[in-house]
Amino acid sequence: MHQKAWQFYLNKVKEESVGKDSSIFDFLIPVLAMILISTIKGDMFLALIVAILLCAVLYIPRKIIKASDFCDLWVRGFADTIPALAIIVAALLMRKAAADLNLPGYVVGLVEPYMNATLFPMFAFIIVAILGFVTGSNWGTPAVCATIIIPLGAALGSNMLLVMGAIVSGGTFCSHACFYSDATVITSTACGIENMDHVKTQMPYAMIGFAISCIGYLIAGFIV
């Protein structure tokens, strides 16, 4: 009911804005300003604030949108991000705990006796994929694992390009499969759908990719 009421409000604002003097620059100027500031300052939060203020300067004086409606949409947009922020903060805590427990090193140590040069790329992919799925860190986990996996792969005589590809591929898998990874959370929030619904639709494709990648790295380990 609440969602329907909000959609009605958005439609009303949109109808009132039809025919107003707007142009493509109303979109490009805030976006370009956000990109420029985030590039120069390295602060995405500041860039977003500036982009929103630019939108206010561009829209309100020209009566493309009312000041009250603009403020309502601003508050509503912030409120919509709270669930995503909560999930990401929880994921960050899990990543910190995994790093403090040296989870990547422990897992690699468990499977190390069963590794050889030909099987190592496949094992590298599986380890990074599983650890990334558990921790929700599609960037942090590959970075941590690389410092352990790459020297081990070199010692075993594996192809280093293949090993590095396996590490990156494992991070990509957890980015799409983990229901609390930042990519999944932000995507589901931006699309206005439930996080778990998004995961359920993408999980079959992620698992198909996982299986094909395992087979591919196994074959490549023997060939390369």
Q: Which residue has the higher pLDDT, 215 or 195?
A: 215
Give the pLDDT of residue 211.
92
Q: Which residue has the higher pLDDT, 27 or 13?
A: 27
- The region of weakest confidence among 20-29, 37-46, 77-86, 212-221 is 77-86
**Confidence grade of residue 200 (pLDDT, cut at 50, 70, 90):** confident
Q: Of all residues in the chain, what percent carry a pLDDT higher than 90? A: 5
Burial 14-50 (b: 16+ CB within 10 A, else e): eeeeeeeeeeeebeebbeebbeebbeeeeeeeebeeb
- Give me the mean pLDDT over the 8-29 stretch: 61
- Give me the mean pLDDT over the 204-208 stretch: 88
Distances (CA, A) of 16 to 2, 3, 9, 30: 21, 20, 11, 22
Give the pLDDT of residue 19.
45
* CB-based contact 128:166 (threshold 8 Å): yes
216, pLDDT greater than 90: yes
Max CA separation in the chain (angstroms): 70
Question: What confidence tens digit (pLDDT) does each residue in 122-180 have?
Answer: 888 988 888 878 777 777 777 777 777 887 778 778 888 898 899 888 888 877 777 77
Q: Give the span between the Cα atoms of 87 and 118, in whole angstroms.
A: 38
- Give me the mean pLDDT over the 5-25 stretch: 55
Q: Give the span between the Cα atoms of 187 and 167, in whole angstroms.
A: 23
Q: Give the span between the Cα atoms of 190 and 102, in whole angstroms.
A: 34
* Mean of all residue pLDDT scores within the chain: 76
Q: Give the span between the Cα atoms of 153 and 148, in whole angstroms.
A: 9
Q: Give the span between the Cα atoms of 199 and 179, in whole angstroms.
A: 6
Non-local (6+) Cβ contacts of 158 within 8 A are: 117, 118, 120, 121, 221
* CB-based contact 108:126 (threshold 8 Å): no
Q: Give the span between the Cα atoms of 76 and 79, in whole angstroms.
A: 5
Give the pLDDT of residue 87.
59
188, pLDDT greater than 50: yes
212, pLDDT greater than 90: yes
- Specify the residue for token string 């040296």: 102
Q: Which amino acid makes up residue 183?
A: A
- The region of weakest confidence among 20-24, 50-54, 69-73, 117-121 is 20-24
* CB-based contact 177:157 (threshold 8 Å): no
- Give me the mean pLDDT over the 22-40 stretch: 83
Give the pLDDT of residue 183.
73
